[in-house]
Amino acid sequence: MSRRAEADRNDEAVFLAARDVFADVGADAPMSAIAARAGVGMGSLYRRYPSKVDLMRAVCTTSMERSMAEADRALAEEPDGWSALTRYMRRCVDLRVGSLARLAGMFPATAEMFALAERGQKVIDEITGRAKAEGTLRADVTSADIVLTISEMSALPAGPYRHRWLALVLDGLRAPGAGILPGPAPDWSSVRDRWVYQESPVSRS
């Protein structure tokens, strides 16, 4: 294996390990736990990511990029809005792309992250808009509902029930809906506000 291929493999192992550890434990997860799960040494991890905040930013950015790639593919390849929406949600839950919401507000987001979020908003609005126009997504569901639902579903541990529960959620999203949804509908500010930096200290180890 070439050094480049080995570096790419290690990067992917660190991403998957950090995603799962941060999703399960939060920002206080020790770097040692991530290194152990990824099968890399602490020295290698710190050479690549000098601080835990650097690693959190990198993992969140990669997760957002993968979410956008899934949304783009769903729009391009699926024949209708509902198929695009359900495919996108299933893939995001499988990839746990929303599970890093536990890190929201724990570090200053980068300009790249804000740009990805803005692009993501447009793509998800397009998916939900298409499904609503076709009459398959209930009219009182917002794009923010979809994103926040993905975050909650992504946090569930892997197992035999996650897709079952997602199927129940998808049935609830289908038009026309069995009843009126309670409470105010979330909008994009409900998603963005979670990522406002709270200046909470993050442990360095």
Say how many domains are in the chain. 1
Name, in order, each residue with C-beta under 8 angstroms of 176's C-beta and a sequence gap of 6 or more.
138
186: in domain: yes
With cut-offs at 50, 70 and 90, classify the pLDDT of residue 205: low
30: in domain: yes
Give me the sign of the Cα torsion angle 3, 36, 64, 159: positive
Interior CA angle at 74 toward 72 and 189, to 5°? 65
Which pLDDT belongs to residue 203?
60
Domain that holds residue 84: 3-195
Which pLDDT belongs to residue 178?
80
Which pLDDT belongs to residue 201?
54
201: in domain: no
Report yes or no: 154 and 94 within 8 Å, Cβ to Cβ: no
Question: 93-136: per-residue pLDDT in tens?
Answer: 999 988 888 898 898 888 899 999 999 999 999 999 999 999 99
Across the range 161-179, mean pLDDT stands at 92
- Alpha-carbon dihedral 55, 144, 180, 80, rounded to 10 degrees: -110
145: in domain: yes
Report yes or no: 27 and 102 within 8 Å, Cβ to Cβ: yes
CATH of the domain at 156: 1.10.357.10
Across the range 192-199, mean pLDDT stands at 81
139: in domain: yes
With cut-offs at 50, 70 and 90, classify the pLDDT of residue 3: confident
Reported pTM: 0.88
205: in domain: no
DSSP the chain: --HHHHHHHHHHHHHHHHHHHHHHH-TT--HHHHHHHHT--HHHHHHH-SSHHHHHHHHHHHHHHHHHHHHHHHHHH-SSHHHHHHHHHHHHHHHTTTGGGGGTTSSPPPHHHHHHHHHHHHHHHHHHHHHHHHT-B-TT--HHHHHHHHHHHHTSPSSTTHHHHHHHHHHHHBSS-SSPPPSPPP-HHHHHGGGS---------
Beta bridge partners of 177: none
203: in domain: no
Give me the sign of the Cα torsion angle 72, 77, 78, 80: positive
Across the range 26-32, mean pLDDT stands at 93
Between 116 and 177, where is the model more confident? Answer: 116
Which pLDDT belongs to residue 1?
64
